[in-house]
Structures are given as structure tokens and as C-alpha cells.
Copies of this chain bind each other. A is one copy, B any other.
Amino acid sequence: MKWKRSERLVDMTQHLLANPHTLIPLTYFSSLYDAAKSSISEDLAIVKETFEERGTGRLITVPGAAGGVKYIPVVGEREARDIIGGLIHSLEDPDRLLPGGYLYMTDLLGDPHLLDRIGKLFASWFADRRVDAIMTVATKGISIAHAIARHLNVPVIVVRRDSKVTDGPTVSINYVSGSNRRIQTMVLPKRSMKSGQHVLLTDDFMKVGGTMNGMKNLLQEFGCEPAGVAVLVESEDVQEERLVEDYLSLARLRKVNEKERTIELIEGNYFTKGGNPQ
């Protein structure tokens, strides 16, 4: 069949969105739609302009024989403020208060639309850095890790507290959890990571950073290095020194008052950290 431009634009958009950070040769589209390369280039110019106008992503054209086009998911500042503002508003709901001053966040970590926006937001920040994989610790961070991974097109590696028979041979380390100074264990299947990779660490909540530090130690065991640290919510209430200094956060928990049932959050360092190339 012969495709019209309007149909090509719809289909192309869909293909690009489903394959972020992937170089697609122009010949792929020209043979798929039975169209001249010049027509495909014109189509892509329209897609690129629309993506940029709406601030939803960049389209990078790589010239030459081995070239093609690559879609890079990007979140503009207005959208970013909207996501973070909404997150803070939702987290300040006093119904989230649990005994001991803990915050119930499990519902947010199960909301697919919110996760998709959060994942794209983090992916946007790390879009121009080298990220080969994303690592988190079971269980709460897994949904965030996958949400980011989808937009960066890299695999997710889940560290566990205990090993299972379906993991095969594992590497385990002991580390000191930051808040209560307990010795804890982290386990990772040996075959889950090759050496030399740059790995983005993520979790839903960070206080002193003991878990993040544990993951960093685990990376060393595998001959890998951290590509960055991304947390949804950081806690301001840190009595001792933070173990992780270089991290990115969306929200910062300032104060929880159990008696008056108030929760106070502010923006994390997403906008102030610097190094965000968008």
C-alpha cells in the first residue's frame, strides 16, 4: 500500500515514541512506507517541530550512511513544575500520615499515569548522560526504576534483600543502613550485570542514603560505576551526615507533625541542582 503523508505522520510518531533513545535509519521508514527519503525527511521535520513546539521531546538527526533519527524524551520546565507541584500537593494530604511519622506513598507508586510522567522527568534530566542500566532495591523503587527505564531504553536491575533459587549464583554485600545503623544484606544475581557499566541508582525515599551507598558498593563489586542517583522524595530530617551528596530529588520532606497532622514538603533539587542539559 501507498501511505499518505498524514498517515505516515501518525504512524511515525507512534514508532518514535515506542523506541526512545534508539537510532532509526531513514531507510527503515522509506521502505516501510514505500516513500522517497526526501519525503521522509520532510515528515520528520514536521514531527521534530511539533515535538519541540510542545516541549515533549527532541528529535536528533544523525547524518551519513550509518545515520538516522533518534527520539529523546524531554520534559519542559512548565510540565516539570506541574508534575512536582502535583506530587507535593498529593503527599501533603494528612491522610497519608502513619504512626511514627511515616508517609503512605504506596498508591502513588502504583499509579501508571503519574509514574510515566515521573519516569520521563528523570529520563529527561539524564538524557545526555551515559546510562547503561537502572538499579533499585526491592520493593518500592521498582516501579520508578521501570518508569525511567522505558524512557531511556535501558534495562532495570533489582537488588534484593535475600536470594532466590531462580537468581542463580549471586553476589552479596553487607552494608550499614543509614538511619538505624543496622547491618543489612544486598544480593544481586551474578549474571545480571556486566562490568564497565554506568548505572543510574533510584529509590522512592532517601534519608541518610545508606541504601544508595550499599548499591554503590555493589556496583564496585561488579566493576561498574554510578551514573547518578535519582530519588522521588528526600528527607530533610537528617541528624547525621548524608552518605550520598550527589543526588537528584523531586520533593523534599521538611516536617511531619503527628500531633497537628501536618506534612510539609518543598521542591527537591531538580531545578537547582544544575547540570540538567534541557
Which residues of A are interface residues toward B (Cβ below 8 A)?
Answer: 1, 5-7, 9-11, 13-14, 17-19, 46-47, 49-51, 53-54, 56, 98, 100, 102-107, 110-113, 115-116, 138-140, 142-143, 146-147, 149-150, 153-158, 160, 165-168, 189, 191-192
Contact = CB atoms under 8 A, between A and B. Distances in A.
A217 to B, nearest CB: 21
Contact of A143 (B1, B7, B146): B146
A17 B71 CA distance: 15
B6 A110 contact: no
Given A112-B155, A166-B106, A14 B13 contact: yes
Given A98-B165, A155-B107, A10 B7 contact: no
Given A142-B142, A165-B98, A49 B7 contact: yes
Contact of A100 (B5, B113, B165): B165
A143 B50 CA distance: 32
B156 A143 contact: yes
B6 A166 contact: no
A104 B6 contact: no
B116 A191 contact: no
B138 A50 contact: no
A162 B231 CA distance: 24
Contacts of A103: 166
Contacts of A102: 165-166
A158 B110 contact: yes
Contact of A139 (B11, B138, B191): B138
Nearest to A48: B10
A154 B14 CA distance: 22
A119 to B, nearest CB: 10
Given A6-B46, A7-B53, A106-B158, 20 more contacts: A7-B50, A9-B10, A9-B13, A10-B46, A19-B113, A102-B166, A104-B189, A104-B191, A106-B189, A107-B155, A110-B158, A110-B192, A112-B149, A115-B150, A138-B139, A139-B139, A139-B142, A139-B160, A142-B143, A142-B146
Nearest to A13: B13
A75 B140 CA distance: 30
Nearest to A12: B10
